[in-house]
């Protein structure tokens, strides 16, 4: 017999819980939460040191590649990165944060007890104009048999209003999935005509000191804002899945830690949510920024 879905009631918190029952309820009802200063200074120092090394490496590049997604005005003297792709596959420090830290505990408290890592990315949002990410939902980029996936963002530096903080539309995880195609073309963003229906005006934009985390559900509508400040806004994002959510695409199957179990036991049964999911086009991987800015064809992305 196939296992039943775990009850969605909020379990009482234990002495070891990272999140309070109220925070877990907020995530369930609103599809996002933020927790100020959760990641400690020791972690932040390690993460920043490794990140500085990757920024140094990017100086010699003149074009984006599989690891580094560069802004058009990236220069050796003034490195402007949009994204470092799959950091958890590139350095043990990022992987340790994803797999064995307070962040993993948060993923387990919201999805658990059995949880897989899916993928990670580090979005830099460079100062003075660092590129916006348009309104979107994540799951259409990497559809699964159900919707028990979430992404945890860690602020590597303080984020104040105007620094390109991400906005989340409360309750949108329980609403429709939007079409991220424009006609036949995958654009990875909601159509302008859907923005009113998605009520993006109601979005909440969490700010906070370095170490603050945001957690958003894979159906939550979230997006944009360019960085107008004079500081970069490095946001380290890691995505997790309940073990019985199985991917329909092979996006991370070749990445070293893609779909690796981080807590509990693997699943033998896939759990299927009856709600349909939009599929991204097949083809080579292309970063979200390129898709949304229509920098090139062909189409495919991991959000
Ligand atoms: O970095 C950001 O501002 C947004 C990130 C995001 O929504 C994404 O990469 O899916």
The pLDDT of residue 43 is 98
How far apart, in whole angstroms, are the C-alpha atoms of residue 191 and residue 202?
17
**Centre of ligand 1 from the C-alpha of residue 206, in Å:** 13
Closest protein CA for atom 9 of ligand 1: 303
The pLDDT of residue 298 is 45
Q: Is the pLDDT of residue 3 over 60?
A: no
Classify 182 as helix, strand or coil.
strand
Q: Is the pLDDT of residue 8 over 60?
A: no
**Centre of ligand 1 from the C-alpha of residue 284, in Å:** 20
The pLDDT of residue 285 is 57
**Centre of ligand 1 from the C-alpha of residue 260, in Å:** 22
Q: What are phi and psi of 51, to 5 degrees?
A: -65, -40
The pLDDT of residue 4 is 44
The pLDDT of residue 38 is 98
Bond from prior residue into 113 cis (ω within 30 degrees of 0): yes
Higher pLDDT, 6 or 185: 185
Alpha helices of 161-255 — where are they, by DSSP H? 192-195
- Can you read off the two tokens belonging to residue 250? 């092979």
- Rounded to an integer, the average pLDDT of 172-187 is 96
If we measure between CA atoms, which residue out of 120, 123, 133 comes closest to residue 91? 120
Q: Is the pLDDT of residue 268 over 80?
A: yes
Longest dimension (CA), the chain: 61
Closest protein CA for atom 7 of ligand 1: 223
CA 56 to mean position of chain CA atoms: 24
- Rounded to an integer, the average pLDDT of 283-300 is 62
Q: Is the pLDDT of residue 5 over 60?
A: no
Closest protein CA for atom 5 of ligand 1: 133
Classify 58 as helix, strand or coil.
helix
**Centre of ligand 1 from the C-alpha of residue 155, in Å:** 12
Closest protein CA for atom 8 of ligand 1: 303
If we measure between CA atoms, which residue out of 86, 85, 83, 91 comes closest to residue 53? 91
**Centre of ligand 1 from the C-alpha of residue 174, in Å:** 20
The pLDDT of residue 263 is 97
Helix H or strand E segment including 110: helix 102-111
Neighbours of 66 (CB within 10 A): 10
Instruction: Give the pocket of ligand 1 (CB within 6 Å).
Output: 123, 125, 133, 138, 164, 166, 222, 235, 288, 303
How far apart, in whole angstroms, are the C-alpha atoms of residue 218 and residue 172?
10
Q: What are phi and psi of 253, to 5 degrees?
A: -65, -25
Q: pLDDT over 70 for what percent of the chain?
A: 89
**Centre of ligand 1 from the C-alpha of residue 268, in Å:** 32
């Amino acid at each position: 017999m196939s296992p039943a879905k775990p009850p969605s009631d909020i379990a009482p918190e234990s002495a070891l819980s990272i999140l309070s029952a109220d925070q877990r309820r907020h995530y369930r009802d609103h599809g996002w939460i933020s927790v100020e200063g959760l990641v400690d200074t020791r972690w932040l120092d390690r993460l920043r040191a490794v990140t500085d090394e990757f920024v140094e490496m990017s100086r010699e590049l003149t074009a984006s590649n599989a690891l580094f997604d560069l802004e058009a005005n990236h220069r050796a003297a003034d490195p402007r990165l949009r994204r470092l792709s799959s950091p958890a596959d590139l350095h043990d420090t990022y992987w340790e944060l994803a797999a064995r830290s307070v962040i993993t505990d948060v993923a387990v408290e919201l999805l658990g007890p059995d949880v897989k890592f899916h993928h990670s990315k580090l979005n830099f949002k460079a100062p003075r104009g660092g590129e916006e990410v348009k309104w979107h939902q994540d799951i259409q980029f990497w559809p699964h048999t159900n919707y028990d996936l979430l992404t945890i963002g860690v602020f590597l530096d303080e984020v104040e209003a105007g620094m390109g903080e991400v906005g989340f539309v409360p309750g949108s995880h329980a609403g429709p999935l939007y079409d991220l195609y424009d006609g036949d073309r995958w654009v990875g963003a909601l159509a302008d005509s859907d923005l009113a229906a998605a009520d993006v005006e109601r979005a909440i934009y969490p700010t906070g000191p370095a170490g603050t985390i945001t957690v958003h559900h894979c159906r939550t509508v979230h997006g944009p804002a360019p960085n107008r400040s004079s500081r970069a806004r490095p946001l380290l994002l890691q995505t997790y899945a309940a073990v019985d959510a199985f991917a329909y695409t092979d996006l991370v199957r070749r990445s070293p830690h893609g779909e690796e179990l981080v807590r509990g036991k693997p699943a033998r049964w896939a759990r299927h949510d009856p709600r349909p999911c939009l599929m991204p086009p097949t083809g080579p991987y292309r970063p979200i920024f390129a898709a949304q800015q229509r920098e090139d064809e062909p189409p495919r992305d991991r959000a």
